[in-house]
Amino acid sequence: MPEPLPSAAPHLRRLFDLLADDAPAEALGAVSSQARTDGVPAGELAEVERATATALRIRSALRQHRRREAQLTALFDTAGDLAASRDLDDVLKAIVRRARMLLGTDTAYLTLPDEEAGDTYMRVTDGSVSVLFQRLRLELGEGLGGLVAQTASPYATPDYRTDDRFRHTRNINAGVLDEGLVAILGVPLLLGSSRGGTGKVIGVLFAADRSPRVFSPDEVALLCSLAAHAAIAIDTARALADTTAALAELAEANAELAEANASVRAHSAAMRRAEESHDRLTDLVLRGRDVKDVAAAVAGLLGSPLTIHDPGGRPLAAVRPDGTGFAADSMDAGWLAEAAEESRTGARAVHRDGRVVCAVLAGQELLAGLVLHRARPLDDSDRRLFERSAVVTGLLLLLRRTVAETENRIRGELIADLLSDPGRDPAGLAERGRRLGIDLDRPHLLLVAETGARERLAPAAMRFLFGGENQGVSAEHAGAVVLLIEDAGTGAGAAARSAAAQLGQLAQSPVTVAA
């Protein structure tokens, strides 16, 4: 009786075991080779090879998800430090340490201006080994940090020594060489309405590697979020120090300075209210709440209805001062863009047409617009509270988008399988869809989008699905961006035209959509 041929089953079970043990990619890849060596028949060997490829994709997605979780945890921890600590040194050290951890760089550091000396000095470092580098003092406008401070914008270089777009000096070059730094990313610490504006630069936060590296837009946005926290911590500490000094002076001459004492008490009360309000907003971040909770808190604190709109004018939240929601109309995208640009340029909230508007930014990207519906302008204290709520809103939107992008990337694999071989396993595909929250038994529309600005189309599709009424998933396939959305009953042509208009606005380029 002939000996039975080797089976693929043990090798498939081996793949599951390796995935469960988080084995390296090399171990997963070796399963196919072992099956071939064991003489598994060609048909079953092909199945093992396909299963190996799927296992490698799953491993990659899981590792990406864990990295995102680590980033979110670090951001939450940073917000917790701000709420729990009033020691500026501890907060700045935590921010620099987490900047290094979040971006996975060799070192991170923060520079602040020395108003008396008229130069800039190294305030905090993490991962630095060079005493020369740690003692660097820079004249204003020198080096990469000088460029960031002058332009109030993030700047990254993959190779510091060969980059001639900023001013090199012998002093800085010697410190960078002694530290061994090559790739450097710097972002400004801004006092203003939100990140990315042209407010007052009070410092620069850096992340750097000792080998060439290109920093991604997501990494720039994450470092901008930490820089915004650092700016708030410094601003709060300085304001509290000023208040303490004023109270000490008033104690020495209370009789002569009764009027000034009352003014300082009022200032102290305003600062306490601002601090308590910021702690309340930070607590919303720590509890994992969303932008609707931020809107409810700010509307209650400022006593006016508040709406939050995405860049296309669609409402993300609408809350009255008593905390009840209401149905807000979409806002004219052109009006919102003009108001947001005025807010970004002035680095502060603006009063326009009976409404107060503050841009929510991540770097140079407009994430949303905060709109307070009131005829009267805000006083300085309430305006700062409103502007700081934009920073918290931006952080929440970035966190939501990071999670949504990870989920969409995993769901995108389902689209790829549907398009490449829809008849292979209909029941299996439907079950995968249900596990991912997609009911393939319901009517769906398949939209194919193309544009000349291809690098901006995939992020635009993600924002098209993120936070709006469009329910679905997107993926890149065969050189185009494919969107699978639920059929709202408007017809394929109308859905394609609407998607083309919205995607074109988000990508800032004409987009063609076929259904």
- Distance of alpha carbon 389 from alpha carbon 296, whole angstroms: 11
Domain 403-514 belongs to what topology?
Alpha-Beta Plaits (3.30.70)
Q: How far is CA 394 from CA 197, 391, 432, in A?
A: 13, 5, 33
Band (pLDDT 50/70/90 cuts) for residue 128 is: very high
Whole-number pLDDT of residue 195: 46
CATH class of 253-401: alpha beta
Q: What is the pLDDT of residues 182-231, one digit of tens each?
A: 999 999 999 875 444 467 899 999 999 999 999 988 889 889 988 888 88
Tokens of 145: 């940090």
Q: Which of 132-146, 238-252, 349-363 has the lowest mean pLDDT?
A: 238-252
> Which pLDDT does position 397 carry in this prediction?
82
Give the CATH fold of the 85-233 domain: Beta-Lactamase (3.30.450)
Domain spans, the chain? 9-66, 85-233, 253-401, 403-514
State residue 10's pLDDT score. Answer: 81
More confident residue, 413 or 390: 390
Please report the pLDDT score of residue 196 as a whole number.
46
Phi-psi region of 347 (alpha: psi -120 to 50; beta: other; left: phi over 0): left
| The predicted structure's pLDDT at residue 206 | 97
Sign of CA dihedral 23, 28, 33, 35: positive
As to burial, measured by CB atoms within 10 angstroms (0-12 exposed, 13-18 middle, 19+ buried), residue 22 is: exposed
Same topology for domains 85-233 and 253-401, yes or no? Answer: yes
The pLDDT of residue 123: 93
